[in-house]
A and B are shown apart, each in its own frame.
Chain A
Amino acid sequence: MQEEVEKYRKPTRILHWVHAGAFTLLFLTGLVLFIPPLGPLAQDGWTRLLHRIAAVVFVVAPLIYIPMNWKTTLKGIKEAFTWGVEDLGWLKAAPLYYFVCDEKAMPPQGHMNTGQKMWWFLVIAFGLLFVITGAIMWFAKTTAPPALLQWVVFIHDVAFIVTGLMFFVHIYMSVVHPLVRPLRSGAWSSMARGKVSVDYAKSHHGKWYEEITERRRTAAK
């Protein structure tokens, strides 16, 4: 067995999977209104009931996680919104890196690479948009002016399209793309078991690996 390093702590992984499950259910119960032949599945509104149950999980899960893990949360937000030269490098190298697996072009990345930082931004921005517009449709459906409700549905739908597509991109980038494999030591493993192989850490998050080995060295002294 190869040496491994911890990428995500257990509470973070639990939040990820609970949120992923809620999002999947929200996505599917929303999709039935998007594909006309699936419309009859929404008959009598039971998909809306599921949608609402999933929505509660979607909102409550981070509300429980954040106060219990506020250090990790702050660190994550700071990380996602701090961009450096390696992020500029990522943007330049990404097409060659992801299409022809040119790993030399890619500058060493931190704990989060630039793509993951952008994913965070998307999750926060569209998550809030979903929750606000969803809450209006849930609680103000009979009281809000129709013109507001019309545009709220529109915004909810735009958010659905954007996040729905990025959902596929996210799955692809984490378990399908040749560079994030093998599953047992790569990206999948980081979120499933919390650990990645040292090889994977070095080749995909070189800057982060440097940081943790440096920290370990200092601690040992």
Chain B
Amino acid sequence: MDKAILYDSTLCTACRACQVACKQWNENEAVETTNQGSYENPSDLTPETWLKIEFREVERRGKVDWLFNRRACMHCTDAACVKVCPTDALRHHELGFVTYDKELCSGCGYCVDFCPFHVPRSDRNLITGMAKMDKCTFCTTPGLDRIAAGYEPACVKSCPTDALKYGDRSELLAEGKKRVEALQAEGYINAYLYGERELGGLHVMYVLKDSPEVYGLPVHPEVPAAAIAWQDVIQPLGWAVGGLTLIGLGLNYLVAREAKMTRDLPGGKKEESNARRG
């Protein structure tokens, strides 16, 4: 039974308690930032900031609408990061979301390049290439595993308006659909439940009162074609051709050695034997 988080953007007051709780529980350091002219802070996800609330001002029916959106790992079912991670540091939890074991990370940065949501981040030494990725682990970081302990994720725990809920994905899906229908009845005709079907179903679903692009979310997120061409086509092909090549060389050796020995035997075809010796 998959678990999930439901984020209702219409209930969110952008108090950012979730941001603080996330940092506090996961022992991520606070970063000093500068005022960007908005309550939104920090300005972007970083290796130390796995969750942040985005602030958007949208004009609607002649009024300014203040929209909030949660930025963190979406915990995809078809997760590009899991597909391209060469060390298995990124894996699917038995409850469906994408866990991360930092010790195993090689710092290749493939997940950073392939994530359709641009969530994983790393600090990289450009000379040595040394790097470690970081992202939301759904509070399953080894040693800090709230889920295994039977708790809800820290962000959910801290939310004062119940904009964040944790539970069975199927139940939250039904609840999300109900809320979207209610929003549509109120006149928000573009209201949308993000994550129901995107990338095989996300384990963080958003109730939005407008279409995803208004919130800066990709409308059709996809596992990049390069990831499929690479992992599902070229690598298996490489194994197959590689195996055949090695077998071919082995067979060639057996056949050629036999042919040469027969020829070189005394009483073998003399003419050829002479040719070889020049």
Q: Which residue numbers of A lie inside 8 Å of B, CB to CB? A: 32-34, 36, 39-40, 42-45, 47-49, 51-52, 98-104, 138-139, 141-142, 146-147, 149-151, 153-154, 157-158, 161, 164-165, 168-169, 172, 176-179, 198-199, 202-203
Contacts and interface: CB of A to CB of B under 8 A. Distances in A.
Nearest to B128: A49
A137 to B, nearest CB: 8
A43 B106 contact: yes
Interface of B: 86-88, 103-110, 112-114, 118, 124, 126, 128-131, 224, 226-227, 229-230, 234-235, 237-238, 241-242, 245-246, 249, 252-253, 255-257, 259-260, 263, 272, 275-278
B226 A40 contact: no
B130 A45 contact: yes
A142 B118 CA distance: 12
B108 A48 contact: yes
29 contacts: A33-B106, A43-B87, A43-B103, A44-B106, A45-B107, A45-B108, A45-B130, A48-B128, A49-B128, A49-B130, A99-B259, A102-B272, A103-B275, A141-B126, A146-B112, A146-B113, A154-B226, A158-B234, A164-B242, A165-B242, A168-B245, A168-B249, A172-B249, A172-B252, A176-B249, A177-B253, A179-B256, A199-B277, A203-B275
Contacts of B131: 45
A103 B264 CA distance: 13
Given A49-B129, A141-B124, A165-B245, A99 B104 contact: no
A103 B234 contact: no
A99 B255 contact: yes
Contacts of A34: 86, 235, 238
A154 B113 contact: no
Given A36-B86, A172-B249, A43 B105 contact: yes
Contacts, number: 139
Please name the 9 residue pairs, one residue from A and one from B, whose CB atoms are nearest each other, closest first.
A39-B87, A150-B226, A42-B106, A161-B238, A202-B278, A33-B86, A45-B107, A100-B259, A149-B113
A100 B130 CA distance: 51
A158 B253 CA distance: 27
A203 B111 CA distance: 54
Contacts of A165: 241-242, 245
A144 to B, nearest CB: 9
B4 to A, nearest CB: 26
Chain B interface mostly: helix
A102 B129 CA distance: 51
Given A52-B129, A157-B238, A177-B252, 7 more contacts: A45-B106, A47-B106, A49-B129, A104-B275, A139-B126, A157-B235, A168-B246
B252 A99 contact: yes
A48 B107 contact: yes
Interface centre among B103, B227, B235, B276 (most CB of A within 10 A): B276
Given A100-B259, A177-B256, A146 B242 contact: no
Contact of A39 (B104, B235, B253): B104
A44 B124 contact: no
B88 to A, nearest CB: 6
A189 to B, nearest CB: 16
